């Protein structure tokens, strides 16, 4: 796989060209990736997500699909945000643009995502049980409901990012 993001301050996850997926650790063995029947694999379902984010059932939980661009992605816990590096000259440019971008983004409608705890972010083509071979990042989410919203932003003339912001909701 070609690496677009250079190793730096945060852990970047990349795909071979398709979407990334955040799968709860508790249901990781149920994510089959591109393995499976001809047109109904988990990877095929992830590729059918229209837009920046989508939710797919996995086992007794739900995975978050980061669609649209197959961009290098990192989770910034201080901002509760997946940052997708679409265009920038350096990691420093990407990270420097995030705070202002979060405040000025024109967000798409939110979706509600319930997670049982930490999730793993990886290339949707890989089965969950083999995702460690593809490059993945653990995101230490607490159990509960999250509002998920996405936006594409241009914090600089040569910097283009996609943001997927998570906000913990009160349990009902």
Domain ranges of the chain: 20-168
Distances (CA, A) of 145 to 81, 113, 114, 139, 159: 15, 6, 4, 15, 31
Average pLDDT over residues 112-132: 95
Is it the case that residue 165 has pLDDT exceeding 50?
yes
Of residues 137 and 38, the one with the higher pLDDT is 137
Average pLDDT over residues 52-76: 94
Is it the case that residue 106 has pLDDT exceeding 50?
yes
pLDDT of res. 39: 62
pLDDT of res. 82: 97
Average pLDDT over residues 136-143: 96
CA 14 to chain centroid: 10
Is it the case that residue 56 has pLDDT exceeding 60?
yes
pLDDT of res. 172: 66
pLDDT of res. 156: 85
Q: How far apart are CA 83 and CA 99, in angstroms?
A: 11
Q: What is the pTM of this model?
A: 0.91
Q: How far apart are the first and last CA of the chain?
A: 43
Is it the case that residue 159 has pLDDT exceeding 80?
yes
pLDDT of res. 44: 92
pLDDT over 70, % of the chain: 92
Is it the case that residue 8 has pLDDT exceeding 90?
no
């Amino acid at each position: 796989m070609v690496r677009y993001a250079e190793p730096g301050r945060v852990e970047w996850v990349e795909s071979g060209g398709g979407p990334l997926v955040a799968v709860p650790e508790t249901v990781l063995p149920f994510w089959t990736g591109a393995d499976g029947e001809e047109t109904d694999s988990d990877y095929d379902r992830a590729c059918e997500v229209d837009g920046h984010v989508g939710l797919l059932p996995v086992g007794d939980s739900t995975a978050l699909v980061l669609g649209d661009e197959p961009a290098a992605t990192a989770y910034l816990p201080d901002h509760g945000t997946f940052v997708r590096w679409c265009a920038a000259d350096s990691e420093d440019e990407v990270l420097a643009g995030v705070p202002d971008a979060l405040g000025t983004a024109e967000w798409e409608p939110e979706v509600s995502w319930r997670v049982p705890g930490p999730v793993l972010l990886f290339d949707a083509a890989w089965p969950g049980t083999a995702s460690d071979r593809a490059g993945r990042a653990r995101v230490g989410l607490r159990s509960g409901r999250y509002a998920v919203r996405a936006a594409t932003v241009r914090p600089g003339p040569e910097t283009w990012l996609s943001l997927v912001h998570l906000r913990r909701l009160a349990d009902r």
